[in-house]
Amino acid sequence: MWDSIIKLKFGAINKYVYALFLCLLILVALLLMKEYRFFYEQTNQMIELQKEYRNYILTLRQYIDENEVKSQDLNGSEKKKLDEKKKPFIVVNRRPEHLRQSLVKYLQDKKLQSKEFQHFLPKKKKTKIAKPDKLIITRRRVTKIFDSLADFIWPLNAGQFYISSFYGYRKLRGRTKFHSGIDLATVRGTAVKSVGGGIVKEACYLPGYGNTVVIWHNKKYKTRYAHLDSIKVKLGQKISRGDKIGTVGSTGHVVSKRGRDASHLHFEVYALGKHINPLHVLP
């Protein structure tokens, strides 16, 4: 009798266990189906976004190619009209060929002659250029400008940059401000060289300038290199002309637009404690 009662109890317990196990299986299956549906929807959304991104890239490339063709065909007056029109956005072309063409155009417009850039310019007959040996500094005007003490080189290698902003007054966000140096736009991480031998007087982070290096060359000249991505020299270090002092970056206060790489070198030259146009002492 007791054996039959025990068997009945164990049989009932087994039924409950089987029922509970079956419920757990059903619950797990429902959860898996829910997760599958969620990941399926997310995958479809990613595929749609990928298609939109590819279409955007193709449209952007076509826009760049069309602008390059138009800029080659337009005359000077038509270029001015095109510049006056408001554009939806600005795309900066940083391809090596475009950088080289921009540099050559600038050198030809400014009639600059340099051994470092000579292989970019068309061959011309050699002519002797008189070089004044005095630097006259006044409160409002600096008249140059090339003397034997300023035996400088460019801080970036030729063909790796273009001048995106010149020395002097410029409009920035609707305001006119004085720009105390020149901006050399290039790719982040490009090596920055010392334009001349001297001693490092500053190698630190400064508000506005970002990572900055200041070099005293002699009693007359000192140079500043700002917005660096990294600094490769130390305070008090003695360096020679052409030594690597850092890399190009966008630290500090840098104005940039959406989709535009703001990396550039801000380069300043001081003569007798006052700012001068760096192009006056660069070869």
Domain positions in the chain are 1-88, 148-280
Mean pLDDT of the chain: 76
Q: Which residues have a Cβ under 8 Å from the Cβ of 267 and sit 6 or more positions away?
A: 155, 181, 182, 183, 184, 223, 224, 225, 226, 278
- pLDDT for 267 beyond 80: yes
Which of 65-69, 125-129, 162-166 has the highest average model confidence (pLDDT)? 162-166
Q: pLDDT tens digits, residue range 178-235?
A: 999 999 999 999 999 999 999 999 999 999 899 999 999 988 899 999 999 999 999 9
- pLDDT for 21 beyond 70: yes
- pLDDT for 145 beyond 60: no
Of residues 44 and 88, more confidence is placed in: 44
Q: Which of 234, 229, 212 is nearest to 264 (CA)?
A: 229
Q: pLDDT tens digits, residue range 158-185?
A: 888 999 889 988 887 778 889 999 999 9
Residue with the two structure tokens 């273009």: 162
pLDDT band at 139 (very low <50, low <70, confident <90, very high): very low
pLDDT band at 47 (very low <50, low <70, confident <90, very high): confident
Q: Strand 210-216 and strand 244-248: pairing?
A: unpaired
Q: Which of 275, 151, 256, 259 is nearest to 214 (CA)?
A: 275
Assign residue 268 a region: left if phi > 0, alpha if psi is -120 to 50, beta otherwise?
beta
Question: What is the reported pTM?
Answer: 0.50
Q: Which residues pair with 172 in a beta bridge?
A: 175
How buried is 178 (Cβ within 10 angstroms: 0-12 exposed, 13-18 middle, 19+ buried)?
exposed
Max distance between CA atoms of the chain, in angstroms, equals 128
What proportion of the chain, given as a percentage, has pLDDT over 90?
Answer: 30
Assign residue 242 a region: left if phi > 0, alpha if psi is -120 to 50, beta otherwise?
left
**Terminal-residue alpha carbon distance, the chain:** 115
Of residues 63 and 30, more confidence is placed in: 30
pLDDT of residue 53: 77
Q: Which residues pair with 248 in a beta bridge?
A: 228
Amino acid in the structure at residue 265 = L
Q: For domain 148-280, which CATH number applies: 2.70.70.10, 2.40.10.120, 3.30.870.10, 3.40.50.300? A: 2.70.70.10
pLDDT of residue 116: 55
Q: Encoding tokens for residue 194?
A: 């010392």
Helices (H), the chain: 2-73, 76-84, 96-110
Interval 61-74 mean pLDDT = 66
Q: Encoding tokens for residue 57?
A: 């890239």
